[in-house]
Structure 1
Amino acid sequence: MPAGALPRFVLVYAALYAGYGLTTPFLPALLSERGLSPTQVGLVLAAGTAIRLAAGPLAGAIADRLHAGRGVLAAGSSALLVLAGHGFAGLMLAGLAHAAATAPLAPLADALALPAAAASRFAYGTVRGAGSAAFIAGTLVAGQLTGLLGLSALPVAGAAAFALLAAATLALPAGPAGPETRTARPGLAELRAFLGAPAFRRLLAVAALVIASHAVHDAFAVIRWGEAGLSPGTASLLWAEAVGAEVLVFLVVGPRLLGRLGPGGALALAAGAGILRWSVAALTVALPALAAIQALHGLTFALLHLAAMQVLARTVPPALAATAQTLYGTLGLGLATTLATLAAGPLWARLGPGAFWVMAALCAAALPLVRGVGTRTVARQDTA
């Protein structure tokens, strides 16, 4: 592995997550400004989430088959497409193209960084932390740009970040290309046993409910904050606070909570934090309350993710580890988010801020399911 791999990956992750930070938080507000109704905003966001479910694995398969991870990673500069869209149909097409182009970027970056970290002896957490910090910086810059130039400046800034990402990937060391890097597909019997395991199904349900509960916030929080008189700069600070709490839990707080509570207790805490977070969001837009509940994102997302990873590590046979991660990401996170985002628009149009009560109910429904998660194991077919 060539020397200097760490700074190259730091630049890639910084550009990637800065691009996300510049474009993601304010996209619903931009779509609303361009004339879409709440229901149409929800449809565009849900369609984008749905296309990511197919585009991510497809791009990964192409990268693996052609050993072209860097080339596929460099193909994601598409933020300007949103500016080119006009009307619901045009913005839908632009949103789909942007979602398809950016969907595989983070997984492919991880696929390149993990073996490079092992070969070059740098910590993967260093580059992922750089990405999280860049996301925070991107959201802060987005708030300032919006205040100065309007929401239309954000796709331009995002496109610049993704262009830097494309250039930075060309300097990355090539990943391994031998046949030993390809993972064989598990047999049908193994997949059936795995999918039928109570621990996996409970985990999937808990993750789906709690992650899906973020849909109304992600789609309409910035719009609601703006209508309440909060500035774009304040909105960006609130988003940055949530990501900062996520990073803190991932690096410091989460492992300690997980060790003390176990995966089931940690999942219950994440669901309980969701109930509190969305209940407060339904009741008020007072800035002190918003600042308090944004910090709960560290529990509703990061702690849940840490607990889920521990459950999968304990209950899934090594031969099915990749399948488990894919199914967790697709069904537990992606599909649930797609369906919840699709429902967010009509919910908001009908209930307004009362839609947050529905999100709190999703978290409440997850609480009874955490019992026994992590204590039962998938039947392993170990050989002597």
Structure 2
Amino acid sequence: MRPALALTAFYFFSFAALGIFLPYFNLYLLHRGLAAWQIGLIAAVPPLLKILVPAFFGLAADRTGRRRALIIGACAATTLTFGLLLGVTSFAGILAAMIAFAFVWAPVLPLVEATTLETVERFKRLDYGRVRLWGSVGFIAATATMGVLLDYVSDRAILYGVLAAFAATTAAAFGIPAAADSRRGAAAITLGALLRRREFLLFYGACLLMQLGHGTYYGFFSIALEGQGFSASAIGALWTIGVVAEVAFMFWSGRALSRIGAAPLLVISFVAAVLRWTLMARAPGPAGLAVTQCLHALSFGAFHVAAVTIIHQSVPPSLRATGQTLYSSLAYGVGSGLGLLLNGWLYAAWGPARLFGWSAAISAAGMILAVRFLVVTTAEIRLRGAPSPPA
């Protein structure tokens, strides 16, 4: 299988799994009779395990040079452990199965991101955004399809759909190219020096706050909509609008990076996030919800493209897997984990409108760090006499 085809297939099926899991799994838990705090705790398990697990695998991949083998093994284990959910219905059983699944899934995407960016660098005709957008297409297809199906079939279809998508992801992983050669032995020293640099502290801090602010959306957007009387197909349609907007941005992301630069694009993504959650806090109707979902193109699409590009261009080749997994650990581990956990505790007391206002405030704090990162990196570039900022 050609590298580009294998990578697009991997993104398509892995995000198809997430396109079912993220919008509908919490509804599955709600229908099992779980309380909001139990749902919040279970939903927080995957991001919480991303705090340490991806960084460990990233260091292992950089030091051993066996990134591809680690990806294949983790994908296979993901399929097997998610299948455990088919046999449990109690809170304790679901929590235990989720811990096992989340542990092996946590490092997969950041390891593949490192390989994708290296492959794009190696084959100049490839564009990261146009490879990665197939993940968004898979997400859309799965979300929309499952939304329609759930109006007619049992919610057990959620589990079977995710399981099938992960099995296809594992098959695609066998075609992913091996990592580029890099030096071994100096990774730990270089990592320590990297983490002492002010601009990286600002960057990773901003990424953490961005995903912390997204906690309300990922954890309770679907539940809030169902509480307002939206059908499963309508909920799926709203999620789909967000990802369609994301696909549109991904398609043109190469031009955005070349014209704007990665660091300025990061700032723009935070401005969009603040606007999006502020509008959501005002409890808009269907048309307003559609507008806020279009902002997903920037609050997630532009943010993610800018973040992984900054890491790839700023981190030495011997630490690329580590840099991407550290981003995953801090943003999607600490940030998302705390966001989901806090939302699980506060949802009943605050309600969705107040929680989205909280998300807007958190994103505003992240925007301050992102602006500071842009200022610091621009100043350092001028001092070094470099031609341009990260782009």
* TM range, smaller chain: 0.7 to 0.9
118 and 197 in structure 1: CA distance in 2 versus 1, 3 angstrom threshold: closer
| More deviation, 358-367/119-128 | 119-128
32 and 10 in structure 1: CA distance in 2 versus 1, 3 angstrom threshold: same
Look up the match of 1:266: 265
Deviation of 1:280 after TM superposition, in Å, equals: 1.8
Look up the match of 1:84: 87
1:176 & 1:196 partners in 2: Cα distance?
27
360 and 203 in structure 1: CA distance in 2 versus 1, 3 angstrom threshold: same
2:144 corresponds, among 140, 148, 155, to 140
Look up the match of 1:277: 276
2:286 & 2:277 partners in 1: Cα distance?
15
Unaligned runs of 5+ in 2: 385-391
Secondary structure of the 2:82 match is: coil
Query: Residue 6 of structure 1 contacts residue 122 of structure 1 at CA under 8 Å; is this kept in 2?
Result: no
Look up the match of 2:19: 21
If the length of structure 1 is used for normalisation, what is the TM-score? 0.84
Q: Which amino acid aligns with 1:186?
A: A
361 and 119 in structure 1: CA distance in 2 versus 1, 3 angstrom threshold: closer
1:51 aligns with 2:52: no
Look up the match of 1:166: 170
Look up the match of 1:328: 327
Deviation of 1:320 after TM superposition, in Å, equals: 5.2
Which structure 2 residues correspond to residues 294-373 of structure 1 after superposition, within 5 A? Answer: 294-309=293-308, 311-312=310-311, 316=315, 321-353=320-352, 354-369=354-369, 370-371=371-372, 372-373=375-376
What do you get for the CA RMSD once the two structures are aligned? 3.2
2:258 & 2:3 partners in 1: Cα distance?
32
Look up the match of 1:157: 161
Query: Residue 46 of structure 2 contacts residue 98 of structure 2 at CA under 8 Å; is this kept in 1?
Result: yes
Look up the match of 2:194: 194
If the length of structure 2 is used for normalisation, what is the TM-score? 0.82
Q: When the two structures are aligned, how many residues end up with a matched partner? A: 373
2:13 & 2:84 partners in 1: Cα distance?
19
258 and 28 in structure 1: CA distance in 2 versus 1, 3 angstrom threshold: farther
2:38 corresponds, among 9, 27, 40, to 40
291 and 313 in structure 1: CA distance in 2 versus 1, 3 angstrom threshold: same
Look up the match of 2:76: 74
252 and 124 in structure 1: CA distance in 2 versus 1, 3 angstrom threshold: closer
Higher relative contact order, chain-length normalized (CA < 8 Å, sep 6+):
2
2:120 & 2:308 partners in 1: Cα distance?
20
330 and 282 in structure 1: CA distance in 2 versus 1, 3 angstrom threshold: same
Identity %: 31
| More deviation, 304-313/159-168 | 304-313
